[in-house]
Amino acid sequence: MLTTPPFAPSTLQALHRLGIRSREELRRTGAVKTFLLLKASGRTPTRSVLWQLAAACFGCDVMQLSDTDKTALLAAVKNHPPVALPPPAEEAARFMQLALHQAEAAAAAGEVPVGAVVVRNGEVLSTAHNRCVADCDIGSHAELRALAEAGRQTGSYRLDGCDVYITLEPCAMCASALIQARVARVVYGAAEPKSGAAGSVVDLFSDGRLNKHTAVFGGILAEDCQAVLQHFFRQRRSSKPEKENP
């Protein structure tokens, strides 16, 4: 278990609220990400907290960290992908259910069933689903349509502080738009192993060459999101006429 010392009681309590109570849990999260999670939770941890976290991960005393170690840790903090606290489980499930309703509407219209919802401070700004077939437009992905409507609602294309719930991991086109919109969190359901740009194929959200504003959380109601897709493609395959044998 993590103890006082080396951690101050307030830091230890903050770590417990993050679900980090043992050295093993700290190692799984990593010292740098834990440090950034403390900042995301509203605390202002000093560099000494970072040294303490790293020493606990390494299983050594803080005094054993060299200047090189500390420089590397600071660089890792600077280059780390965006970090945010995850949405509360009940809230995430509720908004993902709204996105699922949109995905089901897309399926009923013959579109690939993907739905998206934009939320700010618990308020739904927009909902959308794929309309690529109906609009004859590859840009009519659920995410892009939801972002456009949220922009109209707020009067700005920059959606700072917004969360976007999507039933399927976004592709590179949509990931780029989400990054440009500067949304705070992307929460998706099912992974997309063929074209996912949030880690399955590439991870644009953590690419240091791009503006980094958006934290990503995947796997929310993943089985339900995957089931909608599987049912749609199963039906589409079964509806195709069988080819005659030559």
Q: Give the pLDDT of residue 14.
A: 97
Query: Residue holding tokens 């969190």?
Result: 185
Predicted TM-score of the model (pTM): 0.89
Q: Give the pLDDT of residue 241.
A: 64
Which active-site residues does the annotation give? 143
**Which residues fall in the annotated binding site for Zn(2+)?**
141, 171, 174
Task: Give the DSSP letter string of 47-101.
Answer: HHHHHHHHHHHHTS-GGG--HHHHHHHHHHHHHSPP--PPPPHHHHHHHHHHHHH
> Which residues, in sequence order, are CB contacts of 196 under 8 Å at separation 6+?
169, 170, 171
> CA-CA distance, 162 to 125, in Å (whole number)?
9
Element (H, E) at 123: strand 123-129
**Which residues fall in the annotated binding site?**
141, 171, 174
Evaluate whether 73 touches 204 at the Cβ level (below 8 Å).
Answer: no
Element (H, E) at 225: helix 222-239
Query: Residue holding tokens 């990503």?
Result: 216
- Using omega within 30 degrees of 0 as the cis cutoff, is the peptide bond preceding 88 cis? no
3-state SS assignment for residue 163: strand
Q: Give the pLDDT of residue 245.
A: 52
pLDDT in tens, 51-101: 999 999 999 999 999 999 999 999 999 999 999 999 999 999 999 999 999
Q: Give the pLDDT of residue 209.
A: 86
pLDDT in tens, 138-189: 999 999 999 999 999 999 999 999 999 999 999 999 999 999 999 999 999 9
pLDDT at residue 135 above 80? Answer: yes
Tell me the C-alpha to C-alpha distance, in Å, between residue 100 and each of 91, 109, 128, 154, 242.
14, 14, 10, 24, 31
Do the bridges between strand 162-168 and strand 185-190 make them parallel or antiparallel, or are there none, so unpaired? Answer: parallel
Q: Give the pLDDT of residue 246.
A: 47
- What spatial distance separates the first Cα and last Cα of the chain, rounded to whole Å? 70
What the chain holds in terms of domains, given with CATH numbers, is 9-79 (1.10.150), 89-237 (3.40.140.10)
pLDDT classification of 243: cutoffs 50, 70, 90: low
Angle at alpha carbon of residue 150, lines to 144 and 154, rounded to 5°: 145
pLDDT at residue 15 above 90? Answer: yes
> Which residues, in sequence order, are CB contacts of 94 under 8 Å at separation 6+?
none
Q: For residue 157, give the DSSP letter.
A: S
- pLDDT (average), residues 103-127: 98
Angle at alpha carbon of residue 96, lines to 94 and 102, rounded to 5°: 115
Evaluate whether 145 touches 139 at the Cβ level (below 8 Å).
Answer: no
